[in-house]
Structure 1
Amino acid sequence: MDSVQSLKAKKLNLLNFKSVPIRTFWITSISFFMCFFAWFGIVPFMPDVVKDLGLTPDQKWNSIILAVSGTVFARLLIGKLCDKYGPRICYTWLLILGAIPVILCGLVQTPIQFLVCRLFIGFIGASFVITQVHTSLMFAPNIVGTANATSAGWGNLGGGANRLGMPLIAAAVVAFGVADAEAWRYSMVIAGIVCLLMGIVYYFFTQDTPEGNFKDLKASGVAIEKKKDEVGFLAVLKDYRIWILFIVYAASFGIELTVYGTMDDYLQNTFQLERLTAGNIVLSFALMNIFARTLGGFFGDRFGKLKGLRGRVLFLSFILTLQGVMLVTFSLATSLVVGFIFLISFSLSVQMAEGATFSVVPFINKKAIGSVSGIVGAGGNVGAFLAALLLKSKSALAEKTAILENQGMDEEVLKAAQSAASSMAVSQGYMVIGFVVILTGIVALAIKFSPADEKENMPTEHIDDSRLGTLQPIKVKN
């Protein structure tokens, strides 16, 4: 949106709270964090939920799949709505309406009710798209990759922080006299209420662009985009680059989501770890979002400065290929030390790949940032859905075979056989996924930009922009 270009922040000065872009950055990052916190909030309590509601193994797996499935449709829709109504209104309603199934999840009494809530809770995963749209509207091309990656990484952190946060909330609830078996219910209700409150904060303390809200700008006669430059959704769908990025994000964020849901059991079955130890390792994986995704956006911006838009694509291809190599190697590890090293390496590379993806997205079609972000973001959940289906099918078949082969054995032997079979099946699944990621990294090289796009996004140098809106960019040579 060229009309607001001069007011976009050129630096990610996190302490400049008077700056509209920086204030928006903080609020959208915190909102995103809370959405992910609530989205995966039930994960630490799954043993309690299984026992309380009597979930079967299939229902447990289905709850994981449903939680990422609903997000696909929500992300596709929310991107287009952001282009039309602005990110402020979209985020406000998403937070308020998304709080409802989170709260209801704490009130369910049957497995069907739980599965329905998990499906609709997944809708708040669309918060990622709004976050990326809002930071793209607030930050200039020279820093937008870093801003997008940082806000997304800190938001994704909520998906791991709940492993500490939700049990702490449960402990506080128990301290007030609530029974241990009911603590998970109160924790979900509290998480939902916080999301609702964040919706109110978002409405009153953010605006769509540095110049103002979409509605006010249109009412005052300021054109956000010229009519002749408007891009229809069907036209956006025809851009092949969007679909490559859709697959790229499926191979990065989609795999991260799948790992969140399966790695605890895999570490226990493969390396005979205690549940608490395995959970802490997965938590360390999630905590890397504090810096890893930012690094992906940072290097995307750096390569963009050195080699233009093509440089961003080259870095994306490299880090995605590296991610695949790390996952394949991890799947072959039989030593805990070796496995941990390559798990952390995989964690670093997958999160950097996510940041690198959205250092490219804002440059695909500046007149339809919301639609592009929505489609690419939906790819992440499609990837998670397909990966979960693969692992579920392989693991379920292996466990059933192990049970049949060990009929008549005592419970300990049967349990050990199931664990070994599940470990082998998931290991094979990780390897298959890793090779698919490597192939995707190569395919990413097919993303091209026109000479006009490259020229328009030449590296620029700016002087201090503490007084937003008073400075002009200065073109510099590489």
Structure 2
Amino acid sequence: MLTELLSFRGRYKILHMTWFAFFLSFVVWFNLAPLATAIKADFGLDEGQIRTIAICNVALTVPARVIIGMLLDKYGPRLTYSLLLMYAAIPCLAFAAAQNFGQLVAARLALSIVGAGFVIGIRMTAEWFPPKEIGLAEGIYGGWGNFGSAFSAFTLVAVASFLSFFPGAFPVPDGPLLNWRLAIAGTGIIAALYGILYYFSVQDTPPGKVYQRPASARGMEVTTVRDFWFLMLMNVPLSGILMVLAWRLQKVGFLSPSAFTISILALIGLYLFQAYNCWVVNKDLLAGRKQYPAEDRYAFKQVAILELTYIVNFGSELAVVSMLPAFFEGTFGLSKALAGMLAASYAFMNLFARPGGGLISDKLGSRKMTMGILTLCMGIGYLVMSSIPSIRDSLGGGGSFMVVLAVILTMACSFFVQAGEGSTFAIVPLVKRRITGQIAGNVGAYGNVGAVAYLTLYSLLPEGDIGNSIFFQTLGIASLIVAFLCFFILKEPKGSFAEFHEGEKEVVAVHGHPSILPDDQSARIL
């Protein structure tokens, strides 16, 4: 596979076009942070207002990933990804044209939906690669696409500076002349154009292969009554974390007490609506009118544990990326620019670590053990990072040696974090084929649940070494707990290293061309 990866034909063309679609969605999703200083100065915003806009950037990503997963299973990744990328231009243009704080918030809320794009490529990649190669393929998709966030951070200021020759540039105090409006609008326009190209360049499945869809995409299908109630329990944090976001918006004065109350009632209604849709999908099972044969069942606990792994790996990544520049700046007395550059080493590891985690999952022979080992090492890594202030003090201060050591420890920890993400999505497509989109959506949404939970905790901790140590210790302990669940409760998926996915077999006699069809259809053709 590694040698074929350099080609741009067949399934590798699909992989390359799909990871680049994810890359662009993340460039759009993360286009705020690099230009936040210019936006803050242009509108005269205070720190609470700019943080509110940053919160809005992730607010709707949680429900969007769940909804996108449903649409994906019903309509396929080609149409879903194309429409999402074309949609990205609308909130980008609205944000670029905003004239007041309220318009900035509304546009950013709409733009947060674009962060759900990751889910789509998980199923597209799974349709084109067999289980035995799914880890590396999903790792490349996730790792190279995820690099869009770092690309945004490193290039958008330069792009906005270059575009300052056009009308609309704004002089940042003690900084360059930036045309932030045109830069943000440009990311959305590029994404929309690529969405059109993507639609006409890819297919949902290889020729002759049938795209498996659930009977209904209104809610997640489960195969036992006990799993239905487990599903209801695991859906609670998806609405609960949005309540935490609403609380934070009230704390910064964006929501009035009455608006906060309305938001809480609306989120309770959202949970009940989601529960109702799940009941509609599974009502025959609950009433005893339907039973699944043993070979068609799956254990929902598999999904639940993968949701927890994504909380501790991707959730912690988003949280750490947000606080790491301030951590380096405060711990070692570095300038903002240097601290930001050193912190970027964490995100850079995505290029190698996430594919590496998927490859390890493919080669180790046990996806369960890979998941457990990487999560365990991640927990140890965070606990080591929590001791950086103590190590600094024991060495007599924050000299250049200590800074280099801290960067090495950070990169080592980030490898296990992002490799764990790759390992998670090496398992997701193997749990239950026809609802892969919904499983990926729920697991992906839990990553955002983790990010908001961790960042909320961080905002409540004391500033300085004590707060940083407690933060990293929390990440480490949570990871160790989830590692225990992986070792002792997570099950190895059936057919983890098979030639074909669940319900498929090779047919070599369809009009003289090899094809892959579901077992029930292949029997009729033969």
TM-score, normalisation: structure 1: 0.80
Aligned mates of 1:291, 1:269 — CA distance in 2: 29
Contact 1:68 1:384 in 2 (8 A): no
Which amino acid counterpart does residue 181 of structure 2 have in structure 1?
Answer: R
- Does the 8 A contact of 1:300 with 1:359 survive in 2? yes
Asked whether 1:322 is paired with 2:377, we answer yes
Mind listing any 5+ residue stretches in structure 2 that lack a counterpart?
A: 172-177, 232-299, 393-402, 501-511, 517-526
Question: SS where residue 4 of structure 2 aligns?
Answer: coil
Deviation at 1:315, TM superposition (A): 1.0
Q: 1:426 to 1:103 in 2, by over 3 A?
A: farther
1:133 CA drift (Å): 1.1
How well do the aligned residues superpose, as a CA RMSD in angstroms? Answer: 2.9
Residue 389 of structure 1 aligns to which amino acid in structure 2?
Answer: T
Q: Which moved more, 1:227-236 or 1:49-58?
A: 227-236
Q: Secondary structure at the match of 1:142?
A: helix
Counterpart-to-counterpart distance in 1, 2:332 and 2:467:
15
- Does structure 1 residue 13 correspond to structure 2 residue 4? yes
When residues 209 and 231 of structure 1 are mapped into structure 2, their CA distance, relative to the original with a 3 A threshold, is farther
1:168 alignment partner in structure 2? 158
- Whether contact under 8 Å (1:82, 1:370) holds in the other structure is yes
**Could you say which residue in structure 2 is the equivalent of 1:209?**
205
2:482 paired residue among 440, 451, 456: 440
Task: Say which of 359, 375, 380 aligns to 2:447.
Answer: 380
Q: 2:192 is matched with which residue?
A: 196
Mark the CA change 1:227 to 1:362 in structure 2 (over 3 Å): closer, same or farther: closer
The question of whether the paired residues in 2 share the 8 Å contact of 1:138 and 1:210 is answered with yes
Structure 1: how far apart are the matches of 2:152 and 2:76?
A: 29
Distance 1:446 1:125, change over 3 A: farther
Matched with 1:413 is: none
Q: 2:471 aligns with which of 426, 429, 443?
A: 429
Q: Residues 281 and 150 (structure 1 numbering): CA distance in 2 closer, same or farther, change over 3 Å?
A: same
CA distance in 1, matches of 2:413, 2:214: 45
Paired position in structure 2 for 1:465: none
How much has 1:160 moved relative to structure 2?
0.7
* Contact 1:313–1:447, Cα closer than 8 Å, also in 2: no
| Candidates 300, 312, 327, aligned match of 1:251 | 312
Work out the CA distance in 2 between the residues paired with 1:281 and 1:17: 34
The alpha-carbon distance between structure 1 residues 207 and 69, as it changes in their structure 2 partners (threshold 3 A), is same
Relative distance call for 1:458 and 1:347 in structure 2 (3 A) is closer
Deviation at 1:170?
1.0
Q: 1:222-250 CA deviation, whole Å, 9 max, x = no partner? A: 85449889996241764121111111101
Q: Give 1:77's aligned residue.
A: 67
Change (3 A) 1:433 1:80: same
Identity fraction in percent: 30
Whole-Å separation in 2 of the counterparts to 1:114 and 1:250: 29
Matching residue of 2:48 = 58
CA displacement, residues 432-453 of structure 1 (integer Å, 9 cap, x when unaligned): 2221122112122244448xx6
CA deviations over 1:396-423 (Å, ceiling 9, x no partner): xx4xxxxxxxxxxxxxxxxxxxxxx345
Give the counterpart letter for 2:424 in structure 1.
T
Q: How does 1:326-365 map to 2 (within 5 A)?
A: 326-334=381-389, 335=392, 336-365=403-432
Q: Confirm or deny that 1:276 pairs with 2:337.
A: yes
- Retained in 2: the 8 A contact 1:12–1:147? no
Q: Aligned to 1:34, which of 24, 36, 60? A: 24
Q: 1:338 & 1:299 partners in 2: Cα distance?
A: 26
Shift of 1:270: 1.6
Pair 1:233-2:275 in alignment: no
Instruction: Tell me the alpha carbon deviations over residues 19-42 of structure 1, each in whole angstroms, 9 at most, x when there is no partner.
Output: 1x2111111111111111111111
Equivalent residue of 2:467, what SS?
A: helix
Cα distance in 2 between the residues matched to 1:186 and 1:460:
48
- Greater displacement, 424-433 / 284-293: 424-433
* Ranges in structure 1 where 5+ consecutive residues have no aligned partner: 1-9, 213-221, 399-420, 462-467, 473-478
Partner of 1:102: 92
Going from structure 1 to structure 2, the CA distance change for 1:118 and 1:423 (only over 3 Å counts) comes to: farther
Answer yes or no: is 1:184 the counterpart of 2:184.
no
Decide whether the 8 Å contact of 1:161 with 1:283 is kept in 2: no
Counterpart secondary structure, 2:85: helix
1:412 corresponding residue in structure 2:
none
Does the CA-based 8 Å contact 1:54-1:111 persist in structure 2? Answer: no
Distance in 2, matches of 1:332 and 1:59, equals 33
Contact 1:230-1:367 at 8 Å conserved across structures: no
Deviation at 1:360, TM superposition (A): 1.0
2:70 and 2:217 in contact (8 A); partners too: no
Distance 1:133 1:385 in 2: 26
Check 1:287–1:15 CA distance in 2 against 1; reply closer, same or farther (3 A cut): same
- Give yes or no for contact 1:103–1:191 (8 Å, CA) kept in 2: no
Count of matched residue pairs:
417
Question: Given the alignment of the two structures, is residue 129 of structure 1 paired with residue 131 of structure 2, yes or no?
Answer: no
Distance (Å, rounded) in 2 between the aligned partners of 1:116 and 1:167: 23
The answer as to whether partners of 1:50 and 1:60 remain within 8 angstroms in 2 is yes
Cα distance in 2 for residues equivalent to 1:379 and 1:13: 34
Alpha-carbon separation, structure 1, partners of 2:423 and 2:513? 28
Secondary structure of residue in 1 paired with 2:434: helix
Gap change, CA 1:142 and 1:106, over 3 Å in 2: same
For structure 1, which segment, 357-366 or 56-65, has the greater mean C-alpha deviation from structure 2 after superposition? Answer: 56-65
Q: Which moved more, 1:263-272 or 1:28-37?
A: 263-272
Structure 1 residue 313: Cα displacement? 1.1
Contact 2:53 2:105 in 1 (8 A): yes
CA offset at residue 52 of structure 1?
A: 2.2
1:69 and 1:382 in contact (8 A); partners too: no
Residues 254 and 380 in structure 1, CA contact (< 8 A), matched pair in contact too: yes
Contact 2:207 2:515 in 1 (8 A): no
Task: Flag the 1:50–1:265 CA change in 2: closer, same or farther, 3 A.
Answer: farther
Identify which of 74, 79, 103 aligns with 1:113: 103
Letter in 2 for 1:68: V
| Distance in 2, Cα, partners of 1:180 & 1:279 | 23
